[in-house]
Amino acid sequence: MCALLPYAGLTAGGFQTGLFNSLKGFGICFDHPASPDIINSYMLNADLYGVLEGRICSPGVKLVYLHQNRLLAFDAGEAQAGLFIAPGVSTGFVYNSDSEYPGLLTAACLSFSLRFSFTRRIDIEAGFLTELGFISRRDEYGTSIQVYDNGYQHSYVPHIKLMYRFR
């Protein structure tokens, strides 16, 4: 992501940066419009699975890339709004639903979101993210590869992105 940031800032179209918030995790986000209908989105967040319940002491770390495609655009008074669908990928060092040990995540993602771009350079996005992939981890029995259950079992948990638009 760090290697892509200088390129993204130099190309026409500006960028948005801000906070990613959800019960699944929180962190920072960086969005770069590739065209009026396509936004490349990067999210680096702390994965809170098991932390809020007190089962796990430390959060995992996750990096998500989404290629957001606008399906529908409409005017919402003081804001321009759009409905987006976004395929993508995610990776990180996270916990799975049945383990006390973290593992390396590799997953394909799909996100549905609604974004409001206000005239005062503020963007707000609300949506849902599904991750389908695998987690490989090492525990006292050796190395194992399992389906990443949290990615699809917690798809119903919404996220909100609050961003400032630089142009």
Cβ neighbours for 43, distance < 8 A, ≥ 6 positions apart: 20, 27, 28, 29, 30, 62, 63, 64, 66, 161
Task: Give the H/E segment covering residue 110.
Answer: strand 103-118
Sketch out the chain's domains with CATH numbers.
5-87+107-129+156-166 (2.40.160)
pLDDT tens digits, one per residue of 123-152 = 999 999 999 999 998 877 888 899 999 889
- How many Å from the N-terminal Cα to the C-terminal Cα in the chain? 20
Residue range 10-29: mean pLDDT, rounded? 84
CB 29 within 8 A of CB 161: yes
CB 62 within 8 A of CB 105: yes
What pLDDT score does 10 carry? 45
CB 47 within 8 A of CB 95: yes
The proportion of the chain whose per-residue pLDDT surpasses 70, expressed as a percent, equals 92
Strand partners, 167: none
Higher pLDDT pick, 5 / 83: 83
What pLDDT score does 91 carry? 97
Q: Is the pLDDT of residue 84 over 50?
A: yes
Please give the DSSP secondary-structure letter assigned to residue 59: -
